[in-house]
């Protein structure tokens, strides 16, 4: 996917600071990457602005393309909604995505535990 298309799809989350585009780290990690825990990778190109941490657009694009949580069905749903096409989601995430859609349409509060490494077939 071209960066320009991805930027267009996430533009509502970007903020211009000193002539550069940034995304708030909390938005990047919770929404686009699907992590709500301690990150296990280094993020560069960050600034602190109004007591929040912001990540520069070049780093945002790289992270969205490579570091998203492949086990999270909410991420599969978000990527489908944004038109992002990645091929390495887990079977569990792909399978749970229609269920998540149903629960969301019925406004049923739910939480998915997506840390499972695999399914015991016994």
Report how far Cα 122 is from the mean position of its chain's Cα atoms: 33
Domain boundaries, the chain: 3-66, 69-122
Q: What is the pLDDT along the chain (122 residues), one digit of tens a residue?
A: 678 888 998 999 999 999 999 999 999 998 888 877 667 778 889 999 999 999 999 999 998 888 888 888 888 998 888 888 788 888 988 999 999 999 999 998 887 765 545 444 43
pLDDT digits (tens, 9 = 90+) for 74-95: 889 988 888 887 888 889 889 9
Are 35 and 29 spatial neighbours (Cβ–Cβ below 8 Å)?
Answer: yes
pLDDT digits (tens, 9 = 90+) for 59-72: 999 988 888 888 88
Encode 24-58: b = buried (16+ Cβ within 10 Å), e = exposed.
bbebbbebbbbbeeeeeeebeeeeeeeeeebbbbe
Are 43 and 63 spatial neighbours (Cβ–Cβ below 8 Å)?
Answer: yes
CA geometry: angle 109, 110, 115, nearest 5 deg: 160
Q: Is 25 helix (H, G, I), strand (E, B) or coil?
A: helix
pLDDT reported for residue 18: 93
Model pTM score = 0.75
């Amino acid at each position: 996917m071209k960066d320009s298309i991805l930027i267009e799809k996430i533009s509502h989350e970007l903020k211009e600071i000193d002539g550069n585009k940034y995304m708030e780290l909390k938005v990047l990690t919770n929404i686009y990457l699907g992590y709500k825990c301690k990150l296990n990778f280094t993020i560069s190109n960050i600034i602190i602005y109004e007591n929040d941490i912001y990540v520069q657009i070049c780093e945002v694009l790289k992270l969205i393309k490579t570091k998203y949580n492949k086990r999270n069905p909410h991420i599969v749903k978000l990527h489908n909604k944004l038109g992002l096409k990645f091929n390495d989601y887990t079977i569990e995430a792909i399978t749970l995505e229609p269920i998540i859609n149903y629960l969301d349409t019925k406004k049923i509060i739910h939480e998915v535990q997506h840390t499972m490494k695999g399914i015991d077939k016994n």
